[in-house]
Amino acid sequence: MLLRIKTLEDKVASISTDIAVIKSNYATKEDTSTIKVEVANAKAELHSALRTQVLTIIGSMIAIVGIASGIIIKFLTV
């Protein structure tokens, strides 16, 4: 009987140590809310960069079409 109790006490001590390790590695609400804010900021920065890139590409394409149509018109009128 004493051996069983000793084994049980050892296992409970091991479990409590494991739980302490698990608790120390958990993320708190503050950690998750900080991550949410950082993700939202990164998302806003990415959206802004993509918008700038799209506008640059559209502007470049309009310029290329304008130049190409000008060259075509010039060759057709000659």
pLDDT tens for the chain, 78 residues: list them. 889 999 999 999 999 999 999 988 888 888 899 999 999 999 999 999 999 999 999 999 999 999 999 999 999 987
pTM (2 d.p.): 0.57
The token pair that represents 54 in the structure block: 């799209």
Element (H, E) at 7: helix 2-25
Instruction: Give me the pLDDT at residue 35, please.
Output: 94
Strand, coil or helix: what is 28? coil
Q: Tell me the one-letter amino acid at 62.
A: I
Q: Residue 59: which of 51, 71, 70 has the closest Cα? A: 51
